[in-house]
Structure 1
């Protein structure tokens, strides 16, 4: 796995409150590992903590970081992609506790020429306890902006 990594913003198109990951820890041709410390406030947060269903988005953003890392390795631009769905999302608890350091691991199981891919994903807490697993399907089209309507204010496509 790679050791020289850029800040997460270089690998994913997400910005502001929708960028949920803190950093990309490792990436190679088949997998990636990212990290997030569960925030104490902000988007999606409840009194009991971060709902564990947000884990699917943590997984999807780790896949996005993997795809962005791969693109930059070959001199291509980072593209937007789409989470199509998940299979067998299982979680050990209903919420992730604020302050918990989560490690998200994704491994590509299928990478189609048509932009469709499937990943095996895992979330662990503080490097040891497995909290969630899933298989997710994603789509990375050649031109993702063609799937996003232009903003009425600017006339340009924008991803939050």
Structure 2
């Protein structure tokens, strides 16, 4: 099992692990990685396409959650020295947004992998801001062939 404790904050490196490109990148750091769990972060900027009226919008939170899963997959492939595949949100079973975070704050999102079989990954996700859970979701992502 691969586990690391050192944070990866190099945005160029993070950009190589996910298929999304600017201005649609919603993760900027990899905080923790292990076999069935990943923790990603995002510092919300005013320039972010999902920032509106000094807040980060609900669609931005959902996309951030999905890209946290993409980062998990991308880092797995990086460890195997393979190119990361493109993936899609297959389904969102539930998504709860409790609070919209302010521009300038940092999101910390934990995705726990419930099932990962044949390119389909089912995850439970929680997003925190300032130590408080502000969003939760269960989603299924699917890798493109």
Query: Normalization by structure 2: what TM-score?
Result: 0.88
Provide the aligned length of Structure 1 versus Structure 2.
139
Match of 2:142 in 1: 139
1:52 touches 1:96 (CA, 8 Å); kept in 2? no
Whole-angstrom distance in 2 between the partners of 1:10 and 1:27: 16
- Does residue 12 in structure 1 map to residue 18 in structure 2? yes
Match of 1:103 in 2: 108
Report the RMSD for the aligned CA atoms in angstroms: 1.5
Whole-angstrom distance in 1 between the partners of 2:140 and 2:107: 21
1:30 touches 1:107 (CA, 8 Å); kept in 2? yes
Match of 2:56 in 1: 50
Whole-angstrom distance in 2 between the partners of 1:132 and 1:42: 19
Q: Secondary structure at the match of 2:4?
A: coil
Whole-angstrom distance in 2 between the partners of 1:109 and 1:76: 23
2:113 touches 2:123 (CA, 8 Å); kept in 1? yes
Match of 2:77 in 1: 71
Match of 1:30 in 2: 36
- Ranges in structure 2 where 5+ consecutive residues have no aligned partner: none
Q: Secondary structure at the match of 1:34?
A: strand
- Does residue 112 in structure 1 map to residue 117 in structure 2? yes
- Range that drifts further, 68-77 or 1-10: 1-10
- Post-superposition Cα deviations, 1:7-34, rounded to whole Å, max 9, x if no partner, equal 3113111111011111111111111111
* Match among 2, 5, 8 for residue 3 of structure 1: 5
**Larger Rg computed on CA atoms:** 1
Whole-angstrom distance in 2 between the partners of 1:10 and 1:44: 22
Whole-angstrom distance in 1 between the partners of 2:138 and 2:103: 25
Q: Secondary structure at the match of 2:23?
A: helix
